[in-house]
Structure 1
Amino acid sequence: MALVLVTGASTGLGLATALGLAGAGHDVVLHARNADRVKNQSVRKRMREVIYGDLADLDQTAGLAAQANGIGHFDAVIHNAGVLKGPDVFAVNIVAPYVLTALMTPPSRSIVLSSSMHMSGTTDLDSANFSSPGDRGRAYEDSKLYVTALAMALVDRRPDSLAHAVDPGWVPTRMGGPSASDSLEEGHRTQEWLATAEEAEFSPRTGGYWYHRKSRQPHPAAGNTEFHHELLDKLEAHTGIALAGTTP
């Protein structure tokens, strides 16, 4: 039985992931922006705990990390929360996963939700404004490249833990829309597996980019050590929070 935190789990893929893990007998901590997002008492009863915080707000994200640390050491954290467009794209999609990773007691496994659209992201960090994407045309794509690189950076920064990125596919959630062509079930199966399966069941052991339980090659920058350093430096400067770890 694993203790797993799933962010952005009040609806869509996050909720499906949380319910799937709970149904398999794991202890799940469901994160939602606020209490109004989780009114279904049957969902609440299936969770070990429900915690709240607006991931678009740096202080609330830090507070969420404190809430999580108060629960205990997590076997896995699934960074599911995401925003497709608007002023909070960078805050939710990359800054929040970074802050939670930096402030929480390191979990045994970290899994971030990427997207095939990360392949169109730009490596131009000089013009990236993490406070707001502004008129940056590919903010979502950039944010998903950054969070994929964050997962790969953890492979070196925290070698005793596992880190993976998952492309869930284009699934029919509120974000994906009714025309989405991928399976909702397949969309959450991979992250549940990576969070709880025996390590011998998947290869690579860490640093994988996955689509429907199959390892794929991410954007070249995602595995570039120099890009990792640039990204982490940028995030530390923006948040004032350093990511501790052991660097080789």
Structure 2
Amino acid sequence: MVSVLITGSADGIGRETAKTLAALGHRVVLHARNAERADQALAAVPAADGVLVGDLSSLARTRELGTTAGAFDVVVHNAALGAGLPRRSVTEDGLELLFQVNVLAPYLLTALMPRPARLVYLTSGLEAQGRVDFDDLQHERGPWNGMQTYSDSKLLDVVLAFAVARRWPDTLSNAVDPGWIKTKLGGAGAPDELPRGADTPVWLALAEDPAARVTGRYFKWRQDLRANPAAYDVAVQDRLLAVCAELTGVELP
């Protein structure tokens, strides 16, 4: 039996991943941003072992989650905000919302939680359109472009996955593009259903075949693909870790 924490598992791909793993007999712990969402998550996945509550738009609550969550064999960083924000939003920490939830939160949880055997970071095919601009990571300059901000954050998730893979060679750390899936984020017009989106995260969490026991890779539908070239740049990886450490006050061990 494998123990798994899945962030953002109150609905969508996270919930489907949790349902699949729990049905296979594994210990699954859910995560939701508030108590109401936690109740919804447990009602949808009654076989789960529990649910952790923590609002990832708050560094304090993310830090609390990371220090109290406990140890897991696998952590699936699924929680994210989409591209539909009509304007630039700032959190209570004074940080851009998409950047904080999609990038800083998984970094902080990774840095604070006991090191698992496997890490899975959910990204998006839009990472291919992402840009890394360390002079404007939080999109403070120019007109607001939610799609570009989202794409940039999803590229940074791949950078993070690859950076962790390089720093922690004993942990399998990979990024997954689940495809365009019918979720609240993907929309009703998406061509693929939830089981397809959850399949690769489940596979990477459990599989013992050599194709899954790799690290620092970018997958879509179990296919090992090439990510945005920026993700492979060691200097970019190291600078992202340094920026995240400065903004959160926590360095990756």
> Is the pair's TM-score, using the shorter chain for normalization, greater than 0.5?
yes
1:76 aligns with 2:77: no
Structure 2 equivalent of residue 12 of structure 1: 12
Deviation string for 1:218-246 (max 9, x for gaps)? 001111101101111111111111011xx
- Across the aligned residues of Structure 1 and Structure 2, the Cα RMSD in angstroms comes to 1.7
Structure 1 equivalent of residue 191 of structure 2: 181
Structure 2 equivalent of residue 46 of structure 1: 47
- Percent sequence identity is 41
Q: 2:135 aligns with which of 126, 137, 144?
A: 126
Aligned-pair CA distance for 1:139: 0.7
Quick one: distance in 1 between partners of 2:242 and 2:210? 34
Q: State the one-letter code of the partner of 1:103.
A: L
Aligned-pair CA distance for 1:134: 8.7
Deviation string for 1:165-185 (max 9, x for gaps)? 000011110111100012321
Quick one: distance in 2 between partners of 1:134 and 1:196? 44
Structure 1 equivalent of residue 105 of structure 2: 96
Q: How does 1:30-69 map to 2 (within 5 A)?
A: 30-40=30-40, 42-43=43-44, 45-69=46-70
Secondary structure of the 1:110 match is strand
**Structure 2 gap segments, 5+ residues each:** 90-96
Aligned-pair CA distance for 1:129: 2.5
Quick one: distance in 1 between partners of 2:14 and 2:117? 20
Q: State the one-letter code of the partner of 1:124.
A: D
Quick one: distance in 2 between partners of 1:133 and 1:234? 18
Structure 1 equivalent of residue 230 of structure 2: 221
Q: How does 1:19-34 map to 2 (within 5 A)?
A: 19-34=19-34
1:52–1:203 CA distance, 2 compared to 1 (3 A): closer
**Structure 1 gap segments, 5+ residues each:** none
Structure 2 equivalent of residue 108 of structure 1: 117
Quick one: distance in 2 between partners of 1:117 and 1:239? 26
Quick one: distance in 2 between partners of 1:107 and 1:224? 24
Q: How many residues in Structure 1 have an aligned counterpart in Structure 2? A: 239
Structure 1 equivalent of residue 176 of structure 2: 166
1:133–1:20 CA distance, 2 compared to 1 (3 A): farther
Secondary structure of the 1:39 match is helix
Aligned-pair CA distance for 1:213: 0.7
